[in-house]
Amino acid sequence: MCRHLAYLGPPVPLSRLLFDPPHGLAHQSWAPRDMRGGGTINADGFGLGWFPPVLSERLPVVYRSARPLWSDPALPGLAAATSSGAVLAAVRSATVGMPVTESAAAPFHDGPWLFSHNGRITGWPDSVVDVAAGLPVRDLITLDAPTDSALLWALVRARLRAGATLGDALSSVVTSVAAAAPGSRLNLLLTDGQSIAAVVYGHALSVLASEGSVLVASEPVDDDPGWRAVPSLSLLVADPSAVHISEGAFA
Ligand code: GLN
């Protein structure tokens, strides 16, 4: 299963999330510790989304690739030279039958929103035809990729556009997809650069909150004793000053 993380706080070089920690996202791409639900490594693409601290528009920059994260020779230098206080990054292990293309790698994005999914929809695609039918046709014919994650993003984005909060958008999508496709793994991660929302549904998530920053990750990136495991079936909503965990939100 894919690995993802999101950070909010004082600007840090992207390398502080990817390459510098002993179990940063680069290490998780080839040596993940917890790949329950399928896959062994996350070699089917990666993506970074970050809000540049110097731009007044506050829209994120996104860099996605279909290659393994470790195989991009420009990335270590780029990550060391690029700082941000709001980041979402992911490495992908493609579900069997799904294409390996740049546009299938997270983060999926639109406006201020960055989104990632770790897991799979059981019975794809038939199980969620009715759920997808609720989307505007335009959204369906412009999906990023013919994958479960891209559909989940379209469902989340439709709710955000309608005015839902980050947490409500994720909750609503998980509730409807889980009902249509029981047994799905729906670990979702979303940020707008101000706050983070995440769902733990079928896989692990940990959070590290310290003075004025918060880091949420599929696997802790280091052995800091402050890491907390987020209980299964929870909704997490966090910003640099507070972490709220709704336990049993999807029980
Ligand atoms: N099913 C998604 C994809 O193929 C996510 C895969 C995963 O979490 N490993 O992109």
Mean of pLDDT values over 218-233: 96
pLDDT digits (tens, 9 = 90+) for 59-99: 999 999 999 999 999 999 999 999 999 999 999 999 999 99
* Catalytic status, residue 2: yes
Q: Nearest C-alpha to atom 1 of ligand 1 is from which residue?
A: 120
Question: Which token pair is 136?
Answer: 């505007």
Residue boundaries of the structural domains of the chain: 3-119+185-246
**Ligand 1: lining residues by beta carbon, under 6 Å:** 1-2, 39, 92-95, 98, 104, 117-120, 147-149
Alpha helices in 84-193 (DSSP H): 129-132, 137-141, 148-161, 166-180
Task: Give the model confidence (pLDDT) of 148-176 as tens digits.
Answer: 999 999 999 999 999 999 999 999 999 99
Choosing from 65, 120, 124, 144 the residue with most ligand 1 atoms within 8 A of its CB, the one to mutate for a pocket test is 120
The closest of 102, 66, 62 to 82, measured between CA atoms, is: 62
The answer to which of 37-41, 114-118, 142-146 has the lowest mean pLDDT is: 37-41
What's the start-to-end Cα distance of the chain, in Å? 22
Q: Are 38 and 118 in contact (CB under 8 A)?
A: no
Average pLDDT score over the chain: 94
Confidence (pLDDT) at 41: 82
Q: How confident is the model at residue 200 (pLDDT cuts 50, 70, 90)?
A: very high
- Would you state the pLDDT for residue 127? 98
Quote the ligand 1 centre to 148 CA distance (angstroms): 8
Residue 32 reports pLDDT greater than 80: no
| Active-site residue, from 2, 69, 186, 205 | 2
Which ligand 1 atom is the nearest neighbour of the CA of 124? 1
Confidence band, pLDDT 50/70/90 cuts, at residue 35: low
What is the CA(248)–ligand 1 centre distance, in A?
24
- Write down the pLDDT at residue 39: 65
pLDDT for residue 36 is more than 70: no
In the β-sheet with 61-65, what is the strand arrangement from edge to edge?
A: 61-65, 46-50, 83-91, 3-13, 213-217, 206-210, 228-229
pLDDT value of position 191: 98
The per-residue b/e assignment along 167-199, b for 16 or more CB within 10 angstroms, e otherwise, is bbbbbbbbeebbebbeebbbbbbbbbbebbbbb
pTM beyond 0.75: yes
- 34 pLDDT band, cuts 50/70/90, is confident
CATH T-level assignment (fold) for domain 3-119+185-246? Glutamine Phosphoribosylpyrophosphate, subunit 1, domain 1 (3.60.20)
| Cα Rg of the chain (Å, integer) | 16
CA of 183 to the centre of ligand 1 (A): 15
